């Protein structure tokens, strides 16, 4: 099994700079709540990084444009955390659930609950 974390933001330096500014200046309208909760101004937040490392599960990270290129058939709403098992993909934490999180702790709880249940949160 591996987890695939897909951000609702495009890859690239310009996108990163504008996303950072948007998060700071107008956080309530920022499109990617996965980015919002897991990244600060200078990179991935330490609690999130440590949480992912302690899971002991292979991870893959995609930005919106990278994901759409790699998985053109996918119609899944973004952001999303997918679980891949034996070539099959299913949402572990859906866009709706990510967007409903008020903070990083809630997001980590949803990931943990999904892994413990072994199915979709």
d(Cα 48, Cα 64) in Å, to the nearest integer?
Answer: 20
Confidence of residue 20 (pLDDT cuts 50, 70, 90): low
Report, as an integer, the average pLDDT of 12-22.
51
Tokens 């994901």 appear where?
67
Distance CA 47, CA 29 (A): 24
Region of poorest pLDDT, from 25-34, 71-80, 90-99: 25-34
Arithmetic mean of pLDDT, 104-110: 98
d(CA 121, CA 102): 16
pLDDT category of residue 22 using cuts at 50, 70 and 90: very low
What integer is the mean pLDDT of 78-91? 95
Q: The pTM is what?
A: 0.83
Q: How many CB atoms lie within 10 A of CB 16?
A: 15
Mean pLDDT (whole number) for 86-115: 96
Domain spans, the chain: 2-117
């Amino acid at each position: 099994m591996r987890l695939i974390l897909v951000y609702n933001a495009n890859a690239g330096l310009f996108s990163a700079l504008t996303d950072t500014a948007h998060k700071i200046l107008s956080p309530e309208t920022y499109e990617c709540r996965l980015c919002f909760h897991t990244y600060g101004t200078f990179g991935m937040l330490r609690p999130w990084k440590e949480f992912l490392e302690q899971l002991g599960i292979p991870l893959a990270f995609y930005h919106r444009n990278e994901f759409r290129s790699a998985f053109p058939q996918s119609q899944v709403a973004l952001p999303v955390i997918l679980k891949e098992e034996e070539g099959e993909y299913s949402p572990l934490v859906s866009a709706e659930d990510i967007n409903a999180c008020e903070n990083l702790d809630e997001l980590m709880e949803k990931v943990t609950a999904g892994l413990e249940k072994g199915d979709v949160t």
